[in-house]
Structure 1
């Protein structure tokens, strides 16, 4: 395998997306250009055509598994084309090898929604954000509302945020491509607007007609004036007490990269990136001795919901689907060394698209590096020196900025076979203005007169598992207390129970009984005769808190359970359905599990929802320190013993060591006087 070595910590090479070499590789710029040209030659585009989505259509699993280097790649692209003047959207699937569009489907977004696929609006265009602000600020009603508040001199610098509207069945909103806008003030053009919300002013806009549908203007709450700036000039001198930390790997990193293929300490996988999901890992496997064993065919975080718990007219409708409505990959950052990533880095570019269907490269969208992660294992045995080895993990990550929030997504691979998925939230909390010192049930004051609503961030990971192959099962595992009596004569006993998941459905965690999920192989046994398994361990944060009769409950039903198990189907990719924007609800996971297919054997998919219920605090202002939320897939009998026993003792290279077997030390680890 060809190895691309990073040059050094300040000049890493980047894997470019210039040529696809594998069926699961990211789309290339040339492929997007070729696909768009097919639509143009076929007369399927007009001067008003815009492209909310350009996504790869991955080939069937059987094709990928049988594919060998030199075979045809079978590359296909789905273009969603929105006619901006009519609001009509159409899916076009282009077969690149044939050079033709082989499937078209008109979306039913102009109809009264029935809750059935494929109703819903496509994701927003970048140009629609600026357009929405221009429409709002040109509205006489909006200007009148600003004047009524005595803000005539603030109109020019005001920021009208573009926000997904949700769905409530309002007669004047059905079938229209809508966006809502809240108003924030800036003290000057470079000011942080989110700290100055104009309370009680809400504009709803029809993007197709280019006009305001309604303006809500009520109340006379004074706009919070606290500065939201956090730049060096505003904060003051930086502390000088912190000393530099430098991470060096003088012999280079332990991973190797060949195009999209990565190998590291037994792990092998492919890195991909698309406009909607962002980072995707394919064909994750582990080399156990001389055998390469599959674990995960495909892993991504394809959706997240941010529902707000505020009942005010300004915010009751807020429930952002940051992947399905805005596209996480399109919002990805170009990552910077020493800021977003630290160490010896390998970057992968990301490929997205602009509003006109042209390729748009995101330089250094994905960062990959190794991290020391405390101890791997340690023991002090009588008669022997302390044996301690360092844990290390490989980190594959990207960061997306959606409006006021920034989200980091991290896949961690550990030396002991553990897989961890982590989401980090930072940025600026979403605020409203209020009466300083007031106590409110749905908002918390984080600065004088500045109130942040209670809300949730619920991410959903899709895990297309293949534990030692595609014939898998899932079992619920939990511990049980045993009443004192014949089975527990001393009162100290407790036990564990397993229950096989037989049909598709959603399931909840319970940390009080250590409820976890075991995904195992129906065909493979370990050294003690048990099925080889991985265990899914979550954090058990609250699921969706909205009432079951609410609109957001119907639209974000995936967030009502921590873990879902479904039978694999090629078209079941999106937790909230393919088009959650303005969808009435019921799409995605509730539809996938409605037929209650058997999942006790065969090719199955796990979906895991995780993330915080956020009660904002003053320390979250003006910029929020990172909060991190995660879950793990941990080997549970997948290996016959600790797979990291051969991790070396690096300290011996320098002469001093802590792991030299045979050197006697006093019991309990005390340091002897020499």
Structure 2
């Protein structure tokens, strides 16, 4: 087993057995999060595999939480310490618990009766929602909020029928309702939100993707090789899909790449929505909510699936049989030229796709890593699912929400992803530069007014490296090797090319701004530290803020010729539209990491022409 292989079922079972032997699992102990403890880089290079697991242990009777680290190699407990500020991620069983507490509440029942909805409580869905942080005296422990949605039957989509203004605040540890807000008498939208029973169109002809000789990639355990690329595929309960030791033409590009956090802040001032700012990795766990993918639906072509193992609320291993999809796909023209004599040379592009999909409540998120034949890496995040909505009077105007169906109003919100890129451009010693294209003022240096050039700005410290994208300047960020040059004498490099989008729109004095400070910049950079994994801190749930990137970068550490980690924020700002209902077409966002002087010339010159006879006069 390689030191970076994802956790196996046997290891999770062995780790749990160690906790049992140490008396750390009682009748009231639950396990909100289980993560591999990745070995340090020197151990990985030496192939030394002391396999360790970190278990977050929550006593549901008291709310006390601890982090325990075990070595399944040595079969021993290594440490057990109290968790710091903030709450562990939510348990799956707490979703049902929140609904049970809500429905048993006399205040909730009275609110439903007052609204004339008492006869519809049987199929009511009481959504378990992270509460944010507002410093209220009665919300010092493990708290969750619940909003009520109606269903016509068990198979109905609840998101179509919100009960506006009914908010239940719950103490999960005390198993009690803290208070119930019941404001307004807006009618429940009547139109259903079913989307799976629409008669299919018959005009589309089949597209068949075949590879009669099999795929071009090979898989050996977690290691994948394909057309000059080599990498290891990983998966854990919090981040989901991870990539490790990514190299191109036997030269290192990335030591590790992942999606460690995302925040979904809402811009509505309504009582049932002003507090919404979900941290889908830190509060709910992207990997634990990973989908079991389906051939021909989530992925298309000749597929290799990787299983993943996560732990349930009691620490037992659970398999996601097809958590990761690996396949190739055509990607149009890679390069082409027709010479002066009319002779054309053209080569088609292809990319290797490594993907996973997670469902968090109403939204679904696909994370697709692409490797290209020319040495480019791309991440594409696909947001789909069902928009979160409230109710309003049909035809009325709302400053913070759009009417997307009669009486159904979906608020403006953001999906802000943060990728963590532990770069290794020809080794661990890298430096960071910002490249801007700018016009030259008309004058001696630009006599005809046509000139423009580029400006290189070294980002030498953590404070200097807190940057925004700027499409007006074609801004990119360049990571240069300190140890290798190309044939022209320049440092080998890769460029991070953003697809500019808005950063966090919430005001600096807001609590979400304090908790999600990472989302206020498109770029952060830090020197590598093994314990700096999550940009909003280890426990963003009910955390007052300031953890993660703002705390680490306050030291303003040096970034020159060092082991660099880049943190890139991107994602859509969503003003919902009628076309997003009842299920939302994919909203795409992402970034590109492309070679810039890493290769001495086009690395795809040797691609064959006319593959499979498709290229003919």
Q: Give yes or no for TM over 0.5.
A: yes
| 1:181 Cα deviation from its structure 2 partner | 0.3
CA–CA separation in structure 1 for the residues paired with 2:200 and 2:25: 54
Partner of 1:600: 560
What is the correspondence of 1:423-438 to structure 2 with a 5 Å cutoff?
A: 423-438=381-396
Alignment of 1:529-540 (within 5 A): 529-540=489-500
- Asked if structure 1 preserves the Cα contact closer than 8 Å seen for 2:609 and 2:615, the reply is no
Residue 27 of structure 1: aligned partner: 7
What residue in structure 1 maps to residue 216 of structure 2?
A: 254
Q: Distance in 1 between matches of 2:262 and 2:248?
A: 29
Whole-Å separation in 2 of the counterparts to 1:103 and 1:655? 61
Give the drift of 1:654. Answer: 3.4
1:335 equivalenced with 2:315 (yes/no): no
1:204 to 162, 165, 169: 169
Take 2:275 and 2:488, find their aligned partners in 1: how far apart are those partners? 54
- Alpha-carbon displacement from aligned partner over 1:263-290 (angstroms, at most 9, x marks no partner): 0000000011111100000000011xxx
Cα distance in 2 for partners of 1:385, 1:153 equals 76
CA distance in 2 between counterparts of 1:625 and 1:396 reads 21
Structure 2 unaligned blocks of 5 or more: none
Residue 384 (structure 1) shift: 5.0
Name 1:217's counterpart in structure 2.
182
Q: Distance in 2 between matches of 1:193 and 1:44?
A: 39
- Residue 530 of structure 2: which of 555, 570, 573 is its match? 570
C-alpha distance in structure 2 between counterparts of 1:93 and 1:527, whole Å: 48
Aligned residue in 2 for 1:106? 82
Q: In the TM superposition, what is the alpha-carbon distance from 1:656 to its structure 2 partner?
A: 6.1
Corresponding residue of 1:497:
455
Alignment partner of 1:281 is 2:240: no
Structure 1 residue 523: Cα displacement: 1.2
* Residues 1:43 and 2:23 aligned together: yes
Name the structure 2 match of 1:134: 100
Deviations 1:235-272 (A, max 9, x none): 2x211100000000000000000000000000000011
After superposition, where does 1:183-582 map in structure 2 within 5 Å? 183-232=148-197, 235=198, 237-287=199-249, 292-383=250-341, 385-505=343-463, 506-582=466-542
Q: Pick the aligned partner of 1:611 from 566, 571, 576.
A: 571
After the TM superposition, list the runs of 4 or more consecutive aligned residues in structure 1 that deviate by more than 2 angstroms.
653-658
Shift of 1:574: 0.2
Cα distance, 1:494–1:342 mapped onto 2, change above 3 Å: same
Q: Give 3-state SS (helix, strand or coil) of 1:172's partner.
A: helix
CA RMSD across the alignment: 0.9
State the TM-score, normalized to the length of structure 2: 0.99
The aligned counterpart of 2:135 is 169
- For 1:140 and 1:371, the matched residues in 2 are separated by 56
Aligned to 1:160: 126
For 1:150 and 1:325, the matched residues in 2 are separated by 34
Secondary structure at the aligned position of 1:331 is classed as coil
1:318 Cα deviation from its structure 2 partner:
0.1
Equivalent residue number for residue 657 of structure 1: 616
Alpha-carbon distance between aligned partners in 1 of 2:172 and 2:418, rounded to the nearest angstrom: 29
1:357 aligned counterpart, secondary structure = coil
CA distance change for structure 1 residues 629 and 655 in 2, over 3 Å: closer, same or farther?
A: closer
Q: By how many angstroms is 1:95 displaced?
A: 1.4
Report matched runs for 1:50-65 at 5 Å. Answer: 50-65=30-45
Deviation at 1:485, TM superposition (A): 1.4
Write the distance in 1 (CA, Å) between the matches of 2:381 and 2:25.
38
Alpha-carbon deviations, 1:278-332, whole Å to 9, x = none? 0000000011xxxx10000000001100000001111000000000000000101
Give 5+ residue unaligned stretches, structure 1.
1-20, 108-117, 659-674
Counterpart-to-counterpart distance in 1, 2:591 and 2:154: 41
1:540: Cα distance to partner?
A: 1.1
Separation in 2, partners of 1:95, 1:621:
48
Q: Deviations over 1:477-519 (max 9, x none)?
A: 0011212111111111111100101101321111111111000
The offset of 1:383, in angstroms, is: 2.2
The alpha carbon displacement at 1:655 in A equals 8.8
Question: How has the CA–CA distance of structure 1 residues 271 and 139 changed in structure 2, closer, same or farther, with 3 Å as cutoff?
Answer: same
- 3-state DSSP class of the match of 2:526? strand
Inter-partner Cα distance in structure 2 for 1:446 and 1:369:
36
CA deviation after TM superposition for structure 1 residue 637, in Å = 0.4
User: Residue 98 of structure 1: CA displacement?
Assistant: 2.1
CA distance in 1, matches of 2:260, 2:23: 32
Normalising by structure 1, report the TM-score: 0.90
8 Å CA contact 2:43–2:49 kept in 1: the answer is: no
Q: How many residues are treated as equivalent by the alignment?
A: 615
* C-alpha separation in 2, matches of 1:241 and 1:43: 63
- Residue of structure 2 in register with 1:9 after alignment: none
The verdict on how the C-alpha distance between 1:247 and 1:655 changes in structure 2, with shifts beyond 3 A counting, is closer
Residues 264 and 278, structure 2, Cα contact 8 Å, conserved in 1: yes
Please state how far the C-alpha of 1:190 moved relative to its aligned partner: 1.1
CA spacing shift, 1:361–1:656, aligned 2, 3 Å: closer
Partner secondary structure for residue 138 of structure 2: coil
Q: Does 2:55 correspond to 1:79? A: yes
